[in-house]
Chains A and B, each alone.
Chain A
Amino acid sequence: MIYKTLNFKTRLKRPTKVLAFFLVALSLASCQKNSRPNYQYMPNMYTSVGYETYGEYDIFAGGQEAMAPADNTIARGHSLYGYENTNEGYDLAKANLTNPYSETVDLARGKAVYDIYCAICHGTQGKGDGYLMTNEKILGVPSYDARVITEGSVYHVIYFGKNTMGSYANQMNEEERWQVSAYVMSLRDALTQN
């Protein structure tokens, strides 16, 4: 009789034990959340003392490692651009600015860069029928043959942007901007011939 009650008790206990085990396992498992990074073995080997790109450090103005270049300086590989972001500057660039890389124009490279940055609105043919246009996300992108443009004005607009179009100066370097300008003019030539 005593034994029977004992047995009864253990029978009762077993499910609770199993339940408790699962609860503990669950709580352990829930410690690893996808919303925070995992543990590291030796964090000071993973993260050295140097400043991380885009890091947040008190030593910098505004707390940001990423900073604009100091005033009146030009970063390596960059050069001055002598036209202002005004209507007059646009007209001057349109009239006077020419491609300094005209001897190394590589339309295939120009197309590669154009297809990344420009074709999404202007279309791969330059007809103003990019994917965002046909989907009516962005409206009113003109075809290249509907405007009077020169290589210089194209470069100027890539550099500063115009109206709704933003500046693309930080997504392409100077040489790439000129390659794209040359490619845009080739697209325009193809459009006007047809």
Chain B
Amino acid sequence: MTHSLRLNSIRNSRLTGFFFLTLLFSNLWAQDGDPAKGKSLFNTNCAACHQLDKKMTGPALRNVETRLSETAGLDRTWLYAWIRNSNAVIKSGDAYANKIYAEYNNSAMTAFPQLSDAELNDILAYTAQPKQEPVVPAADPGAAGGGTVAGPDSNNIVLAGLALLFALLAIGLLMVRQTLHRFAVANSVELPAEKPKSTPIWVAFAQNQFLVLVTAIFLLLASGYFVYGYLMQIGVDQGYEPVQPIHYSHKIHAGDNKIDCNYCHSSARVSKHSGIPSLNICMNCHKSIYEYKGPTTAEYTKEFYDNEIKKLYKAVGWDDANQVYTGKTQPVKWVRIHNLPDFAYFNHSQHVTVAGIECQTCHGPVQEMEIMSQFAPLTMGWCINCHRQTNVKVADNAYYEKIHNELSKKYGVKELTAAQMGGLECGKCHY
């Protein structure tokens, strides 16, 4: 043990020696470490609790070294000791250590004894970098935006040009016809005589009783078709797309970030309801994700999304600047989209856990929906149809083994559909 430790320390000292040697020559980061290496070290070790410019679980760390020496007169060796074992520094009675420990709700910082001096120097060099001002989106994003819009725009221009051309052509033809006509009149060419005035067509139509009868039947059938269509869509909310109090994009969460549906709708696995996630589930991630960094469009800008995150913070009572819950909460009045009538029973866990059906089978490509909408009609015919077509997943399910064997004998089939398991019985859903 001691032997290997010594070896390690020898290797370490050699390494640091080599490090300083290179630094002497490079002279660029003289004794300060490499901010690029520091960044990756920072992201793996520190970023869970610290950011450079924002208070998180721990304090903001931009220029921590200079701040410490200016405000508390502490130097780098204190930082080494603190990072490697903050608990020991606190217990030693160090005033500043105890002050900062109390200020951050007694959250103990993880000890990092494995970080070498050189690595810590890298991290400190990274924290000492000046803040980069966000690049003002000037020419580049504008050009990119123009590029994407240019496609349909240029198409429209081409179409408009073609339409204009056709209009001109039509006018030209009409004019040609008119001049020809005039020529004909001038040269006294005999034009075919105007048709003699016959009985108007509707009078002729009204006089033909057979035609009237056929038309009446046709009109009745046609209106019957449309009335039936209208009546059948009453109570069907397919495509229902209400405006929600907080613009929650399923596309960003389930699509771009690949968060499992069950992560938020956790009760879908185990209960009748898939559940509307409570806000603490949002805060699992949004405690550290306080701004939107993904792709934006003209309609959904970064400011728009950031504002929606602020709405979440307001509802859940999270003070982002001080990283504490204020206790002042207010419920979010989400608008329910999928709502079966109360006389129909539906159980999510039965479909999600037992049958192993993808959420998308009924809810559609939710991971592509910026605004959530109802994908399926949720009518009885739709349920029944799926029960008739879907085979029951019996593999590895001892619960179904016996009944599956008996039923497959009864029906003389190998694969049972949900309907053959009783999925069409009235009392299964209506009771």
Contacts and interface: CB of A to CB of B under 8 A. Distances in A.
Interface of A: 3, 34-41, 45-48, 50, 53-54, 56, 62-64, 86-87, 115-117, 120, 128, 131-132, 135-142, 147, 161, 163-168, 170-173
B161 interface: no
B46 interface: yes
A116 B263 contact: yes
Interface residues of B, number: 54
A115 B262 CA distance: 10
A171 B266 contact: yes
B289 A138 contact: yes
Contacts of A47: 341-342
B43 interface: yes
Contact of A34 (B259, B285, B373): B373
B3 interface: no
B390 interface: no
Interface of B: 43-50, 56-57, 106-108, 110, 197, 233-237, 239-243, 257-260, 262-263, 266, 270, 273, 276, 278, 280-281, 283-285, 287-289, 293, 331, 333-334, 336, 339, 341-343, 373
Task: Name the prevailing secondary structure of the B interface residues.
Answer: loop
Contacts of A164: 48-49, 56-57, 287-288
Given A164-B57, A170-B266, A39 B47 contact: no
Contact of B263 (A63, A137, A171): A171
Contacts, number: 125
Contacts of A45: 341-343
Q: Among the interface residues A3, A117, A140, A166, which one has the most CB atoms of the partner chain B within 10 A?
A: A140
Contacts of B334: 54
A170 B260 CA distance: 16
A116 to B, nearest CB: 5
A46 B234 contact: no
Contacts of A54: 276, 334, 336
Contact of A138 (B197, B280, B285): B285
A86 B106 CA distance: 9
Contact of A142 (B48, B233, B235, B373): B48
